């Protein structure tokens, strides 16, 4: 019998034809077609199954996680099917749709501040660790350091991409939230397609692009794109895999996400806008045709109150 968990992965790959990709062909892997609507279904299932196999998550237990929303939705969906309680700590900049989705799948949501850095007691990861310590039978899933996170992408996402591209891939463009996708897919491609360049798409304000391009850490800022960009390097994030990085402004990210809906009919979220913008920049730098893959990480349906809200867009000082 097929269950919703069997629908995770094997997502479609489509060519982007409505955006300016210079001499290159750009393909997007539609991770938005996973059951919870994002790429995070893959590591969520992997982390939960590993915890069960290791005896760290027992029947009747509680899953605790710090999340920008998508990992939390995925964990809550899977936990509900398995009979676990889910408690999620979420920064207050996340969209209303994500918060509603978390609660709809049975998660208990704890909101915290998005204007503090790691080490502050109200930083979402620090708060989740502290909270897990107070709940009997709770496990902090820790997507940022859990090895089952990149393992999921090395075992599934990477092989799927190379198979769908018939083994011919010149560049792979990815963002970093926990670092699991970059590290897992990156390791697979390094082993099976050495010619493939690995490109980081990073929001302006995140420290990661500067680390790649200059070797120096900048002072972190703030950004409105959700789910990617960091003010520290997560343990799961292997930046040594990255060949080149692009810093993409919020305005460019949001504009690109709106354009891909109008021109290609793809309803993509804000981080997908960042990835597509970086992929187009890389493509337009090339002097000969290349084959490039990036992700639609999640659905734009999670962002109607911001991304597709003209009043909100104007309040940011943007004119699309």
- Could you state, in order of their start, the residue ranges of all structural domains in the chain? 4-34+154-314, 41-140
**Domain 4-34+154-314 is found in CATH 2.40.50.140:** no
The whole-number mean pLDDT for each consecutive block of 10 residues of the chain, a chain of 320 residues, reads 90 98 98 97 98 96 93 95 95 88 94 90 94 96 97 98 98 98 98 98 98 93 95 96 98 98 98 98 98 98 95 94
* Residues 6 or more apart whose Cβ sits within 8 Å of residue 133: none
pLDDT above 90 coverage of the chain, percent:
92
Q: Which tens digit of pLDDT belongs to each residue from 79-91?
A: 999 999 999 999 9
Q: Which residue has the tokens 């200059």?
A: 214
CATH C-level class of 41-140: alpha beta
Q: From the candidates 29, 40, 290, 302, which is the catalytic residue? A: 40
Domains 4-34+154-314 and 41-140 share a fold: yes
Active site residue 40: yes
How far apart, in whole angstroms, are the C-alpha atoms of residue 116 and residue 242? 28
Q: Which residue has the tokens 């997908």?
A: 272
Please tell me the pTM assigned to this model: 0.95
Q: Which tens digit of pLDDT belongs to each residue from 273-288?
A: 999 999 999 999 999 9
């Amino acid at each position: 019998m097929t269950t919703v968990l069997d629908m995770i992965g094997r997502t479609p790959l489509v060519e982007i034809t409505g955006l300016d990709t210079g001499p290159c062909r750009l393909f997007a892997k539609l991770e938005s077609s996973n059951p919870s609507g994002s790429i995070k279904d893959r590591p969520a299932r992997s982390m939960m199954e590993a915890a069960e196999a290791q005896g760290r998550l027992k029947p009747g237990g509680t899953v605790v996680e710090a999340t920008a929303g998508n990992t939390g939705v995925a964990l809550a969906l899977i936990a509900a099917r398995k009979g676990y309680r889910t408690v999620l700590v979420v920064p207050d900049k996340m969209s209303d749709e994500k918060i509603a989705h978390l609660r709809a799948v049975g998660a208990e949501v704890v909101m915290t501040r998005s204007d503090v850095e790691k080490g502050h007691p109200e930083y979402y990861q620090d708060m989740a660790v502290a909270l897990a310590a107070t709940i009997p039978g709770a496990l902090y899933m820790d997507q940022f350091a859990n090895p089952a996170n990149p393992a999921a992408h090395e075992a599934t996402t990477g092989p799927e991409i190379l198979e769908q591209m018939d083994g011919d891939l010149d560049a792979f463009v990815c963002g970093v939230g926990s670092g699991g996708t970059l590290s897992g897919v990156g390791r697979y491609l390094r082993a099976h397609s050495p010619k493939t360049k690995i490109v980081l798409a990073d929001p302006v304000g995140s420290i990661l692009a500067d680390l790649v391009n200059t070797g120096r850490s900048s002072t972190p800022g703030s950004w409105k794109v959700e789910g990617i960009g960091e003010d520290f390097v997560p343990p799961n994030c292997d930046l040594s895999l990255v060949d080149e990085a692009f810093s993409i402004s919020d305005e460019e990210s949001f504009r690109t996400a709106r354009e891909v809906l109008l021109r290609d009919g793809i309803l993509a979220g804000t981080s997908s806008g960042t990835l597509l913008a970086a992929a187009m920049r890389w493509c337009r730098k090339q002097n000969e045709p290349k084959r490039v893959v990036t992700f639609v990480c999640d659905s734009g349906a999670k962002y109607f109150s911001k991304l597709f809200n003209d009043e909100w867009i104007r309040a940011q000082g943007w004119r699309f």
